[in-house]
Amino acid sequence: MIIIVSLLVLAMLVAAVAALIYRDLLSAVIASCLVSLLASILFFFLQAPDVAMAEASIGAALVTAIFVIAIRRTKRYEE
Amino acid sequence: MKGMTLIVKTITDFVVGFIIVFGAYIVLYGHLTPGGGFAGGVIIACAFILAMLAHGKDVAFSKLPEMVAHIIDSGGALMFLLIGWFGVTVGFFFMNTFGRGEPFRLLSSGMILPLNIAIAFKVSSSLFLVFSALAIFRRRSFRAMIEDELA
């Protein structure tokens, strides 16, 4: 159990740092989507499936779609 | 807003129905299993958003026109309030007056099931409207707005 949780937290940290480092904003959005997805799996393993469902549907799907639309409206690459 | 490639369109046509059925399942069984009106409504809204991203805005608005989405949006809020006022006829506001039924069955929670359905209508249509507003509205210059105001 502790191994699964620590692996998920490590993967979340890697995805969050990748979202900071990327110059391509679309890749950064996908990396932050990965953070939300791993957080929802973490919530599921911590026995909160209700929060996991809300996190997966909002954080991973809806926010990503809104960010993709925002990137399509503005510039794709960070200066 | 134009559509995407043929692969994306075909897979979207295949998947959208399953997403809506899954969202309806989460709404209807919200009082027995994890989920509820909000999570199911977001999933149903995500199905329409996926259709809009893949096919463009014309196809999405032919499935769910903007006026119908506005009506469902306001109707969900009114339905929530009316179910709440239904309790006043017996006791107080939001009193659980419906039959409770047998535990662990679908009709076992009184007014929580209709309230979940009302929240799902409200959340799904309003999130779809928020997303379509973000995707469609264009920026207008300040000068054009003032000229419209004066005209």
Output the pLDDT for position B1.
Answer: 62
Output the pLDDT for position B128.
Answer: 92
Cα separation values, B8 from A25, A70, B14, B56, Å? 22, 20, 10, 12
Output the pLDDT for position B146.
Answer: 76
Give chain B positions within 8 Å (CB) of A61.
42-43, 46
Do A54 and B38 count as a contact with CB atoms less than 8 A apart? yes
Output the pLDDT for position A10.
Answer: 96
CA separation for the pair B39, B46 (Å, rounded): 11
Give chain A positions within 8 Å (CB) of B35.
50, 53
Give chain B positions within 8 Å (CB) of A68.
53
Q: Do the beta carbons of residue B108 and residue B101 sit within 8 Å?
A: yes
Residues of chain B short of pLDDT 70, as ranges, are 1, 140-142, 151
Q: What's the pLDDT tens digit per position in A10-24? A: 999 999 999 999 999
Task: Nearest chain A residue to B123 by CA: give it.
Answer: A58
Query: Token pair of B90, please?
Result: 């017996």
Q: State the average pLDDT over residues A16-33.
A: 93
Output the pLDDT for position B86.
Answer: 85
Do A69 and B26 count as a contact with CB atoms less than 8 A apart? no
Do A50 and B38 count as a contact with CB atoms less than 8 A apart? no
User: Which residue bears the tokens 């996991």?
Assistant: A52
Give chain B positions within 8 Å (CB) of A65.
46, 49, 53, 131
Q: State the average pLDDT over residues A4-33.
A: 93
Q: Which of A79, A59, A16, A41 is nearest to B46 (CA)?
A: A59
Do B53 and A58 count as a contact with CB atoms less than 8 A apart? no
Output the pLDDT for position B3.
Answer: 72
